[in-house]
Chains A and B, each alone.
Chain A
Amino acid sequence: MTMEPLNRSEFVKLIALGGAGIAVLGGPERALAALARADNDLDRAALDGDVVAAHAAAGKILAVAHGTSAGTNTKKAIAAIGGMRKFVSPGDVVVIKPNIGHPRAPKYAVTTSPSVVATLVSLARQAGAKKVIVMDNPVSSDPAHCYSASKISAAVKAAGGSMKVMGSSGYKRYAIPGHLLKTHPLYAAIVNADVLINVPIAKQHGSTGLTLAGKNMMGCTSNRQKMHTLGLSQSIAEINAKLRPELTVIDAMRILVHNGPSGGSLSDVRTKNTVIACKDWVAADTYATRLFGKKPGAVPYIKAAANMSLGTMNLSSVTIRKV
Chain B
Amino acid sequence: MSLAEPSLPSGTTETVTPRRAVAPLRRLQEMPARQRAFVYAIGAILLLSLTRVLSDAHQLTSPGTSGAALRLAVPLGMAALGGVFSERAGVVNIGLEGMMILGTWFGAWGAWQFGPWQGIALGILGGAIGGLIHAIATVSFGVDQIISGVAINILGLGVARYLSVITYTAGTGGGATQSPQITQKISTVNLPFFAGGELLGWKSPNILGWLDRQDWFFVSDVGGLLQGLTSNLSLVTVLAMVLFPASTWLLWKTRFGLRLRSVGENPTAAESLGIAVYRVKYVAVVISGAFAGLGGAYLSLVASNIYREGQTNGRGFIGLAAMIFGNWKPYGAAVGSGLFGFADALQLRNAKAVHALLLLVAMVALVFAIKALLEGRLRQGLFSLLAAIVFGLWYLTSEEVPSQFTSFTPHVVTLLVLAFATQRLRPPAKVGEPYRRGEAH
Q: Do A and B bind each other?
A: no
Interface positions of A (Cβ within 8 A of B): none
Interface positions of B (Cβ within 8 A of A): none
